[in-house]
């Protein structure tokens, strides 16, 4: 019985940590692809390709109707931008070895 209670308590703590991390992410600075493109000297399309499937990116999809193309709005949290930048920098360093 106490093992089940301990397991439930640890699950609640994990959910709380996840919720706290999500709440912190919700209020951090979010960049548009155009803003990051300007800061990183890349095209907006390149930034969109880099971040469109990245975990943590806020994606809003909307279509007027099924016959038309879809529109996607990306908002990239600062922590995600830093993670991708660090990953790209590290991969470039590995290629130069």
- List the domain boundaries for the chain: 29-95
Enter the tokens of residue 4.
């089940």
Residues in the chain: 97
Look at residue 90 in the predicted model and tell me its pLDDT: 77
Structure confidence by residue, pLDDT tens digits, 53-91: 999 999 988 877 777 777 889 999 999 999 999 998 876
Question: Does residue 9 register a pLDDT over 80?
Answer: no
Q: Per CATH, the architecture of 29-95 is what?
A: Orthogonal Bundle (1.10)
Ramachandran class of 56: left when φ > 0, alpha when ψ lies in -120 to 50, beta otherwise? left
């Amino acid at each position: 019985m106490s093992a089940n209670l301990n397991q439930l308590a640890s699950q609640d703590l994990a959910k709380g940590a996840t919720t706290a991390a999500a709440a912190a992410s919700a209020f951090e600075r979010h960049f548009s692809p155009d803003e990051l493109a300007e800061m990183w000297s890349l095209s907006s399309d390149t930034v969109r390709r880099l971040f469109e499937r990245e975990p943590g990116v806020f994606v809003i999809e909307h279509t007027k109707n099924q016959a038309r193309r879809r529109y996607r709005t990306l908002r990239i949290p600062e922590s995600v931008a830093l993670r991708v930048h660090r990953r790209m920098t590290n991969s470039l360093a590995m290629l130069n070895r």
